[in-house]
Amino acid sequence: MTRERAVILVALLAIFGAVAWSAWPHETTAAERVDRITSELRCVTCQGLSVKDSPAASARQMRDLVVQRVAEGRTDDEIRGEFRASYGDWVLLSPPASSWTGLIWLVPVVALAAGLAVVVRRMRAIVPSAAAPSTRELAALRERVAREEALDLPQADGAE
């Protein structure tokens, strides 16, 4: 039993050690930085592809410019900022969140909630509530049933 616990303990330590080591920040190479930056920029020709994935000549020029800026020692934010200054936020595949971005996400949710409220209100208006009849209505119904039964009894005897 103690040998099994030791094996489990060693396995857990190895797993936690690997997770901690992989989460530890490490220096990125210039090639990794270029890959990361070019994968975040939109190709101005293809528009649906990143600069990293696009085969267009304009994307190749943008990649070369990123390589040059990384070699000059500029930070990732400075490089992205240069492209944003030239092309606007559109050039970023994931543009930064702004008040307009929040509004874009909020409007459909509000519209959906309003539509749901309208549907629920109409459904409640269609389905009448099942209220019990008042004592006055019950008395009138009993009296009517009694009259109809009184009328039906002689006919039933005469028909036989």
pLDDT at 148: 87
pLDDT score recorded for residue 66: 94
Look up the pTM and report it: 0.49
Tell me, what's the pLDDT at 20? 77
Residue 99 pLDDT exceeds 60: yes
Cα–Cα distance between 158 and 62 in angstroms, integer?
105
Contact present, 87 and 79 (Cβ < 8 Å)? no
pLDDT value of position 35: 92
Whether the Cβ atoms of residue 38 and residue 28 lie closer than 8 Å to each other? no
In the predicted structure, residue 127 carries a pLDDT above the cut 70:
no
- In this structure, the number of other CB atoms found within 10 A of the CB of residue 100 comes to 8
DSSP conformation class of 49: S
Distance CA 82, CA 90 (A): 13
What's the average model confidence in pLDDT over 80-96? Answer: 86
Q: How far, in Å, CA of 115 to CA of 111, rounded? A: 6
What pLDDT score does 129 carry?
64
| Residue 140 pLDDT greater than 70, yes or no | yes
36 contacts: CB under 8 Å, gap ≥ 6: 28, 76
Q: What is the pLDDT of residue 160?
A: 47
pLDDT of 102 reads: 72
Q: Are 52 and 42 in contact (CB under 8 A)?
A: no
